[in-house]
Amino acid sequence: MKVSIKELEKGMIIDSDIFSKKGALLLYKGFKIENPDLVAIVLHRNGIDQILVKNEVPSEVVKVVESEDVKQRIAHEVRLFKEEFVQIMNEVKEDVRRFEETNDISEIKDLDKGLELAHEYENSIFTLFQMIEKIKLENQDDYAQIVETSLLAYSIGKWLYLSEKELKEISEAALLSQIMEYAHFDFNQDPASVKGANSVSTDILKAAFQIQERMDGSGYPKGLTRTQIHPYAKVIAVADVFQNLTTGGELAEKLSVFEAVRIMEREYITKLDVKSLYVFLHRVGSKFIGSSVRLSDGTVGEIVFVPENEVSMPYIKLEDGHVVNLQSPEYKDKHIVEIF
Per-block mean pLDDT, blocks of 10 residues, the chain (340 long): 89 83 70 78 84 66 50 84 93 96 94 90 82 82 92 94 96 97 94 95 97 97 96 98 86 84 94 95 85 90 83 87 83 84
Q: Which of 238, 84, 244, 262 is nearest to 157 (CA)?
A: 238
CATH of the domain at 11: 3.90.105.10
Distances (CA, A) of 31 to 21, 56, 74: 19, 10, 17
pLDDT tens track for 150-204: 999 999 999 999 999 999 999 999 999 999 999 999 999 999 999 999 999 999 9
Together in a domain, 137 and 105? yes
> Measured in whole angstroms, how far is the alpha carbon of residue 151 from the centre of its chain?
9
Model pTM? 0.78
pLDDT, tens only, 263-285:
999 999 999 999 999 999 988 88
Largest CA distance in the chain: 68
- What residue type is assigned to position 156 of the chain? I
**For residue 306, is it within any domain?**
no
Which of 313, 238, 304, 223 has the alpha carbon at shortest distance from 269? 238
- The reported pLDDT for the residue numbered 47 is 86
End of a domain among 254, 276, 308?
Answer: 254
Last residue of a domain, one of 222, 238, 254: 254
Residues 3, 126: one domain?
no
Q: Which residues of 114-140 are buried (b: 16+ CB within 10 A; e: fewer)?
A: bbebbeebeebebbbbbbbbbbbeebe
Residues spanned by the domain of 122: 68-254
DSSP-derived 3-state class of residue 27: strand
**C-beta separation of 324 from 316 below 8 A:** yes
